[in-house]
Structure 1
Amino acid sequence: MIRWTWVFLDRPADRFDAAFDFWSAVTGTRLSERRGEHGEFATLIPADGDAYLRAQAVGGPGGAHPDFDVDDLAAARRHAHALGAVTVADHDTWSQLRSPHGQSFCLTTDDGRRIPSPVAGPGGELSRLDQLSVDIAPGVYDREVTFWAALTGWELQPAAEPEFVRLLPPSGLPFRMLLQRLGEDRPGGAHPDIACTDIEAVASWHEKHGARRVSRGAHWIVMNDPTGGVYCLTPRDPRTGRLPE
C-alpha cells in the first residue's frame, strides 16, 4: 500500500543553490539542511501540512522522479520486480528502481499525513505542485502505462488529449501522475506540473525569480527554471485539481 508520495526535483550539483532558491520561493517552502554522503539531498519544508517535495543534486542535467512510501518495503520490491522493474540500489529503508523502460523511482518507508495548502503569489494567485508528468516514447507507451497503473494501484483515467492518461491517487495523497506519449521514440523523463488559478500571473511571478517561458500548449505553459529544468503551469484549480468550467 502506498501511504505517501514524494516528487524529487533532481538538479545539477553545481547549480543546486540557484535551483532551490527558486523552488523554495515559488512553492512557499524552506530548504532543510542538506544530508547524504555528499550533501546531495534536502527537503522542501512547507509552512503547513507535510513535506512532499525533495531536492537532489545530480551529476547530469537532472529531471524529476517519484518516491512512494510503502508499508512493507520487501513486499513492494517484490511487486515492482514482478511487474518488470529493475533494482538500481537497495538500502535498509529505501530502494531505487527503474521502470521496465528506464524511469527512475524509489520505494521508501517515510510517511506523511496532510497535503500543504496552495501558495499565494504577489497578486493573490494560488498555485501548488500537484502533478508529476512522465514522458514516454510511443513504442513503449502502452507497456509503461500498464506498469505504472499496476505499481500504484491508482485509478487510470483518459484525458481530453489522446496522448495523455492520468493516474489518480486516493484522497489524501499530494500529487497525481500524468503519463504522456511523446511524438517520437526518444529517451523519456519526468517533470513537475503546477496547478494555478491564473497561469499568466504565476508565469510572470516565476519569471521574476529567474524562470523563463519556453512554449504554450493547448491549456498549459511550458517553463524552464533558472537551471533549465522543465516544468509546466496548468489551469487546474490548486485546491481541487479540477479544470475551470
Structure 2
Amino acid sequence: MSVRWVWLFLDLPERDFDTAVEFWRQVTRTELSAWRGEHGEFATLLPTEGDPWLKVQRVGGEGGIHLDLDVDEPLPEAAERAVSLGATVVGDLGDVIVCRSPGGFVFCLTRWSPDPLARGQVRAGVESLVDQACLDVPSSRYAAELAFWSQLTGWAVDDPDPDDEFARLAWVDGTPVRFLLQRLDEEEGTVRGHADLSAVDPAAEVARHCGLGARVEGPGDGWTVLQGPAGHRYCVTERDPRQGPPGAH
C-alpha cells in the first residue's frame, strides 16, 4: 500500500469546542476553512504557504487524534491489506473507510487525488509545526502495533531497539507527519495518540502556548507536556521544524 499523504485530525470534544479550535488555529498560525461534513463537524487548518495537513473535528467523548492516510490503491484493496495485517474495519462511507489498528487506534483510509499545483508542506522560515503523531501504546500491545504500522505504511522502523521506550518510522516521500510510537508503563488498554510539535526555540514556544491558554504539565527528556485550554494533552519537542522529510520545502 502506498501512503501519499497523511492528515492529522485534532479530535476535539463538544465541550469548549470553539475555544479549542481557536487555540489550535493560533498555535498553528493558520486560518480555518469552511466547515464541512454531514453535521458541519470538521474543518481544515490552512497554512499561509503550502498544502494543509491538519484538520479539526468535533467528537463525542474526550477526543484525541486520529489519522487519515491518502493511498494510491482503490479503497477496498487498501482496507483488505489493512485487515490482513490485523486491522478491523468499523465503517465504510464510500470515500472513507474507518479502521482500528490491532491496538484499537482509529485511522481512516482515503483515496489520494493528485494535484498538479500541490506544493507539499512548506517548512522554510517556520518557528514551529505540528508534524508528529505519537501513538501511546500499552506495553503488551507495543510490538504488534509497531509491526502493524511499519507494514501498513511500508516505512521501516528507524534504529530499532526492542528495549527503547520510543520507536519512529522512517520519514519518507515528503509526507507531512512523522509517526512515533511510545511504549507506556501500563500493560493493557487501548492505543491512543497525541500531537507533537517541533520548535526552533522550544522554551519560547512553550511560553507562547501558555500565553494562548495552555498550561505545562511537566518536562520530559527532550519534550514538554502541555494541556490545552479544553483539556487536550500534547507535546512541544526539541526538534527543528526546518529539518523535515525528504522532499520538504
The equivalent residue for 1:115 is 121
The Cα shift of 1:97 comes to 0.2
Do the aligned partners of 2:150 and 2:169 also contact (CA within 8 Å) in 1? yes
Amino acid at match of 1:13: E
The equivalent residue for 2:227 is 224
The equivalent residue for 1:163 is 165
2:92 alignment partner, one of 86, 90, 93: 90
Give the distance between the partners of 1:221 and 1:134, measured in 2 at CA: 16
1:67 aligns with 2:68: yes
Give the distance between the partners of 2:131 and 2:39, measured in 1 at CA: 29
Amino acid at match of 2:121: I
The equivalent residue for 1:6 is 7
The Cα shift of 1:241 comes to 4.5
**Structure 2 residue runs without a partner (length 5+):** none
Amino acid at match of 1:154: W
Give the distance between the partners of 2:159 and 2:236, measured in 1 at CA: 20
The equivalent residue for 1:123 is none
Give the distance between the partners of 2:204 and 2:182, measured in 1 at CA: 26
Give the distance between the partners of 2:158 and 2:222, measured in 1 at CA: 18
Amino acid at match of 1:33: A
The equivalent residue for 1:209 is 212
The Cα shift of 1:137 comes to 0.5
1:52 aligns with 2:53: yes
**Structure 1 residue runs without a partner (length 5+):** 121-125
Aligned length, in residue pairs: 237
Q: Which one is further off, 71-80 or 160-169?
A: 160-169
Amino acid at match of 2:5: W
Residue identity (%): 44
Amino acid at match of 1:237: D
Instruction: Say what the alpha-carbon RMSD is for the aligned residues.
Output: 1.8
Amino acid at match of 1:97: C
What is the TM-score normalised by the length of structure 2? 0.90
Amino acid at match of 2:18: D
Where 1:14 maps in the other structure, the secondary structure is coil
Do the aligned partners of 1:27 and 1:119 also contact (CA within 8 Å) in 2? no
Give the distance between the partners of 1:26 and 1:158, measured in 2 at CA: 31
Amino acid at match of 1:71: D
Give the distance between the partners of 1:102 and 1:217, measured in 2 at CA: 26
What is the TM-score normalised by the length of structure 1? 0.92
1:189 aligns with 2:153: no
The equivalent residue for 1:236 is 239
The Cα shift of 1:110 comes to 4.4
